[in-house]
Structure formats: C-alpha cells, structure tokens
C-alpha cells in the first residue's frame, strides 16, 4: 500500500513521545485493547446484525466484525510475552486479514493493517488512526459515505485536530493519547449517528450503519485500554482509572465496552417508525431482487512473493472484480516476511468470471480460503451446510441451494489445503447454530477449537454427487426463504434426512461417452432421479444421450445434469432409488 502522511507533522520528522509516556503500540495496551474490542463485538454482534442493511441486508455485519477481530485477538494472545508492540499490531492485522469475514470484516482488517504500518514507522496516535482510515478507504473499489469508512475518517480527523491543539496551546501540553483517542471515538460515534441521513438504504430502514457502529465499539475499547494504561503508569499496578466511569467517553446511547448499544438502535428505529430488520430492511428489496447487485459472495486469500507486493496488485484486482460484481474490497500487501498476502471480496452473479480473475492473480502464488455463499441464504434456518468441492462449476449451484462452499481446486491455480480454521469460519458464515459438513477432508475436520456454533455434524460425502443429493434432500425440507416461526427448527432432523437420502444413492465414476453405458447399467425401474456431473471436456451431446437412456430405463425418472467446471472428460453418475 502507498504510504500516507497524516498531515499533522512533516513526513520526515520523528514523533514526539506522548507526555504520559503511554503509546498506542505499547504491548500491554495492544493486548488489553484487542481483548476488550473482541469482547464488545461478541456481546453486541446480535444488535449490529439486526441493523445490517448496507451494502446487503444479510444480517451478519456484527458477526463478521466479531469473527474477524477474534482471529486477531487469538493471534495476539498466542504471541510470546516479550513481543514488541508494533510487532503485536502486525500480528493482529495479519491474523484479522486471513480470518476476515464479509465486506465489513475485510475493511476492518485493512484498518488494522494501517495502524500496524504507521506504528512500525513511529507514528503517534493521530498518525496511526489517519493511516488506518486512509488504508481502509483505499481498499474499497467504490466507497460509500455514511459507512464504517466515514466513521474512520471522522475519527482520524478528530485525532489530528486534538494532537494539533495540544502542540499549539501550552495549556493543553498535558494532552496525551487518552484525549486523542477519546476525541476520535466521539467523532466516530457522531458519524455513526449521522449515517442514517447519508445513505438512502439506512434512511428507509430507519437504522444506523452497522459497520460504523462496530467501529465505535472498537474505538471505545481503545479509549478504555488507553485509560487503563495511563492509570497503571500513574498509580502503578491496580490503578483505578480504568474502572472510573469518568475516564470513559460519554456514550450518547452507543455503548462503551461495558455498556449496551440497544438504546441507540431502538431510538433511531422509533424515530423512523420502523421495526428492527431481521434479514432485510423494511422497504429495501432483498439482494437477489436487485439487478445491479451480485447474489453470490466470493472471498479468497491470495499469497505471492514480496516483490509483487505493490498497490498495483490490489488496484488491478479491484478493477477486474469491479467489472464482474460489486461491493469489491481488496486488502493486504507485503506481509514483512518475504511474502505478500491479500484478501479479496466481491458480490457477483458471474462466479466463473470472478474465479478466473482470482486464478490469473495467483499465477505466481497460491489461493486459499476460496469461499462462496449465497447472500439470501444466510441464517434462514437452524441448520446450515458447509460443502467442500474441487468443482468450481458446482459452487454456484451448491451456494444457491443454501451451502457455504469451500473450493479446494479446479480454478486454474494452486489452492492451499483446507485447514480447521477455514472450516470453522465457513461454519460461522452459515449464520446457523447447527451445521452439517459435506465433503470436508478428514484432515480439516478437527474444527472444535474454531467453532462458533452449537453443533456440527460431518456427513460422509465421498463424491460431489453425494453433496448435490444431500442439498437436494435438505432443499425439500428447508427451502431458501423459509420464514421464521413456520415451525420448530428443533423438530427438524437435518442429519437424518441427509443420511436417508444418501442411503438410496449409488454413484459410479466414468469418462466421456462411456457414461451412456454406465447409466444403462445402473438405472432401472426403481430409479427416481439420476444425477450426472460432467467435466468441461465431456462430449457436447452427452446430456441428450443420457436423457434418451434414462427415458428407456426409467421413463418417470428425473435427470439432473450439472457442469463441474473441472478440466477433463470425467463423469460422475448417481442414481437414486425410491417410490415413484
């Protein structure tokens, strides 16, 4: 990323130490801040989710922010006790980038990266917050006002103004980081309160921007952490300022770390005369109904050699993804260890084209965490599904059926093996409390330590046909858009439904035209459905020939033909037996 000067001092000058001796990159402070901010987001995630209407009303901004920062907090907690503060911030930013979820999480990870870069170069509090805001905004292809970006800008401007007054006015010479970050947090809160008047989607729904509210919590945690550090310096261990309400910013209805955000949400909703949204805002069309918006969310991590780490890489990715979708965010760059890492995010209706862009970008590196989900399918039921596949052509089909899809290959680039963390993030992304795993390799299934759901059940699915049939069985029971209150979700035996469907399935793998004879042998009078998954080089007339055979062998059976997108002429045939 391009270096950004805060404007508060000459670019080549070294910052003066804070009068209090406390710096934002002090390791004790970094650890306290990440703990406090993660706890605040965990507690308030539901409240933030309920007001999530922009850029998509998918009710997951709070969850995504929490999951993103949680990854950073775990990395910081696991760092050696003697790790310097700037390095801790770098560890925090890298882990958040790799674990970022959703549009808001990716932006937050880049905001953290900006902090880390400025800290490494010796910036003061205003420098850190300015670099964070600038980095976050530059990562978004089409920034919108009234969002987390606006709140970040407001915080940075307030920090610069406070630092400037402290340097010009002798009476303010005692001003330190606590005053600076308190001003920044207050400005972000003001920006969050004004967000409803800056975005039509928020105005119609009568809510504040969910991402901006999340940043307010992060900044309030910053104030509390700095207050605690200042108290410890002044009074020694156990100093009481951290617990003194006078050291906290006035909440104005938005919570500090130990408060609640419910009041501000309800105040704004009552002002607008609108009830709290669940999965879509009143008066706002669902995402899939918007012809200008993408129905699928694609996220991936791109790694490459450090010499490729330049703004050009991110800019080219943003431009290319922007041509096939919206809500484009690309963050990252030089990781400082000889490699460069980027996280990319896009909403698209052209998944094949977006995956081709990812593959081209990885020509000298690798891809990881290639994650696809249907935005309208999130949180629709008590049960969610995570499906792993190496068939990019099936990703859209599986996602539209309600699964969060992890692509393990087939995209024309090297894809790193799934890790337990990848699976745990995907499970959380379903928005469900209970999750089925389909096609997840055994080595990636040890995800208990990374789960944020109540229950997870792995279902043996040795082929992609098994995953397709499992989701088809669930689709008859849990159609996308199932309204809340339509039945007791605890009465649904999703696992049992899948097991029963797979028990009636027989699968054979073959190649090219040989699939015709294979279907003739496997289909019979009891066949009710035949599923054919065709690789990219299969004969063009194969679907018609398969249909003719099925009409002969089982006239009342249904034929489902899907393209895998994988190279080669492989064919997977599945036949299901049952009562017609």
User: Which band of pLDDT confidence, cut at 50, 70 and 90, is reported for residue 282?
Assistant: very low
How would you list the strands of the sheet with 505-511, edge to edge? 505-511, 570-577, 527-534, 558-563
- Summarised one tens digit per residue, pLDDT across range 121-137 is 888 889 999 999 999 99
Burial of 366 (0-12, 13-18, 19+ CB in 10 A): middle
Closest CA to 108 of 121, 95, 119: 95
CA distance 545 to 555: 14
> What is the distance in angstroms between the CA of the first residue and the CA of the last residue of the chain?
61
Closest CA to 444 of 386, 395, 398: 386
Phi, psi of 45 (to 5 degrees): -55, -40
In three-state secondary structure terms, 473 is helix
Q: Report which listed range, 125-134, 283-292, 371-380, 491-500, is most confident.
A: 125-134
Whether the pLDDT of residue 258 is over 80: the answer is: no
Closest CA to 570 of 391, 395, 352, 370: 391
Domains and CATH numbers, the chain: 27-284 (1.25.40.340), 289-498 (no CATH), 504-577 (3.30.1330.20)
- Summarised one tens digit per residue, pLDDT across range 25-77 is 788 889 999 999 999 998 888 888 888 777 766 667 888 899 899 999 999 99
What are the start-end ranges of the H helices in 404-463?
A: 420-429
What per-residue confidence (pLDDT) applies to 28?
Answer: 87
Closest CA to 536 of 394, 415, 357: 394
| Whether this model's pTM surpasses 0.85 | no
Q: Are strands 296-305 and 366-374 parallel, antiparallel or unpaired?
A: antiparallel
Residue 258 to residues 43, 65, 209, 248, Cα–Cα distance (Å):
9, 18, 21, 10
CA distance 7 to 123: 12
Question: Across all residues in the chain, what is the average pLDDT?
Answer: 78
Burial of 500 (0-12, 13-18, 19+ CB in 10 A): exposed
Q: 372 CB contacts (<8 Å, ≥6 apart)?
A: 296, 297, 298, 351, 395, 396, 398, 399, 404, 405, 407
User: Which band of pLDDT confidence, cut at 50, 70 and 90, is reported for residue 287?
Assistant: very low
């Amino acid at each position: 990323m391009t270096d950004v000067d805060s404007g508060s001092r000459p670019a080549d000058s070294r910052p003066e130490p804070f009068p209090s001796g406390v710096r934002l990159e002090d390791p004790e402070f970094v650890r306290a801040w990440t703990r406090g901010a993660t706890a605040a987001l965990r507690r308030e995630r539901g409240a933030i989710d309920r007001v999530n209407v922009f850029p998509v009303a998918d009710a997951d901004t709070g969850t995504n922010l929490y999951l993103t920062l949680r990854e950073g907090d775990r990395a910081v907690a696991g760092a050696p006790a003697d790790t310097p503060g700037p390095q801790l911030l770098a560890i925090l930013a890298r882990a958040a980038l790799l674990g970022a979820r959703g549009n808001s999480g990716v932006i937050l990870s880049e905001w953290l990266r900006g902090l880390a870069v400025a800290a490494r170069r010796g910036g003061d509090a205003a420098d850190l917050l300015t670099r964070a805001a600038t980095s976050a905004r530059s990562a978004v292809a089409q920034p919108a006002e009234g969002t987390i970006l606006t709140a970040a800008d407001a915080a940075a401007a307030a920090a610069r103004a406070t630092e400037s007054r402290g340097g010009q006015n002798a009476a303010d010479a005692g001003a330190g980081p606590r005053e600076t970050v308190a001003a920044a947090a207050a400005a972000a809160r003001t920006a969050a309160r004004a967000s409803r008047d800056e975005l039509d989607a928020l105005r119609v729904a009568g809510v504040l921007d969910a991402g901006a509210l999340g940043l307010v919590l992060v900044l309030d945690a910053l104030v509390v952490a700095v207050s605690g550090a200042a108290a410890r310096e002044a009074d020694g261990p156990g100093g009481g300022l951290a617990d003194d309400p006078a050291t906290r910013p006035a909440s104005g209805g938005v919570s500090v770390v130990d408060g609640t955000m419910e009041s501000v949400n309800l105040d704004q909703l009552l002002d607008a005369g609108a009830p709290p949204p669940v999965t879509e805002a009143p008066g706002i069309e669902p995402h899939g109904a918007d012809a200008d918006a993408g129905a699928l969310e694609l996220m991936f991590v791109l790694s490459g050699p450090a010499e490729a780490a330049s703004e050009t890489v991110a800019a080219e990715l943003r431009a290319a993804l922007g041509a096939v979708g919206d809500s484009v965010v690309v963050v990252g760059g030089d990781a400082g260890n000889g490699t460069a890492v980027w996280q990319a995010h896009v909403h698209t209706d052209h998944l094949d084209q977006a995956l081709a862009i990812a593959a081209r970008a990885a020509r000298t590196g690798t891809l990881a965490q290639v994650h696809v989900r249907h935005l309208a399918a999130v949180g629709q039921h008590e049960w969610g599904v995570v499906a792993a596949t190496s068939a990019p052509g099936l990703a859209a089909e599986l996602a539209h059926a309600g699964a969060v899809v992890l692509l393990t290959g087939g995209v024309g680039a090297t894809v790193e093996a799934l890790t337990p963390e990848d699976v745990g993030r995907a499970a959380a992304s379903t928005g469900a409390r209970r999750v089925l795993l389909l096609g997840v390799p055994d080595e990636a299934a040890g995800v208990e330590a990374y789960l944020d759901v109540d229950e997870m059940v792995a279902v043996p699915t040795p082929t992609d046909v098994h995953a397709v049939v499992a989701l088809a069985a669930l689709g008859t029971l849990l159609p996308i858009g199932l309204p809340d209150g339509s039945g007791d979700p605890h009465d649904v035996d999703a696992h049992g439904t899948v097991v029963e469907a797979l028990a009636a399935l027989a699968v054979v793998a073959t190649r090219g035209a040989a699939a015709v004879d294979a279907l003739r042998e496997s289909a019979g009078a009891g066949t009710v459905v035949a599923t054919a998954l065709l690789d990219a080089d299969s004969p063009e007339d194969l679907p018609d020939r398969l249909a003719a055979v099925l009409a002969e062998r089982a006239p009342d059976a249904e034929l489902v033909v899907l393209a895998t997108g994988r190279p080669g002429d492989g064919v997977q045939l599945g036949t299901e037996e049952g009562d017609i």
